[in-house]
């Protein structure tokens, strides 16, 4: 399976990582790690998140919902 992350989404994640890192050192790194784990889980379980009405699936992060 191939995963594609839109440039806009990647930029938004980078901004969120930087923001959280400013709040507390290591918090941005934790967000990045959790996002990476969620992406890995999606690759292993692409059909598990339910299909939403607008045709997408959503996975919430555990610490950063």
pLDDT (0 to 100) of residue 10:
95
Give the count of domains, the chain.
1
Cβ–Cβ under 8 Å, residues 31 and 17: yes
pLDDT tens sequence across 1-42: 778 889 999 999 999 999 999 999 999 999 999 999 999 999
φ, ψ of residue 36 in degrees (nearest 5): -60, -40
CA–CA distances in Å: residue 7 to residues 29, 34, 59, 62: 20, 19, 19, 23
Query: Would the pLDDT of 64 be above 90?
Result: no
pTM for this entry: 0.81
The Cα–Cα gap between 42 and 19 comes to 25
If one counts every other C-beta atom within 10 angstroms of the C-beta of residue 31, the result is 20
Residue-number span of the structural domain to which 45 is assigned? 1-65
């Amino acid at each position: 399976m191939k995963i594609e992350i839109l440039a806009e989404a990647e930029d938004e994640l980078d901004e969120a990582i930087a923001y959280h890192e400013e709040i507390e050192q290591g918090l941005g790194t934790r967000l990045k790690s959790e996002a990476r784990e969620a992406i890995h889980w999606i690759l292993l379980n692409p059909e598990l998140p339910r299909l939403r009405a607008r045709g997408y699936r959503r996975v919430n992060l555990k610490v950063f919902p």
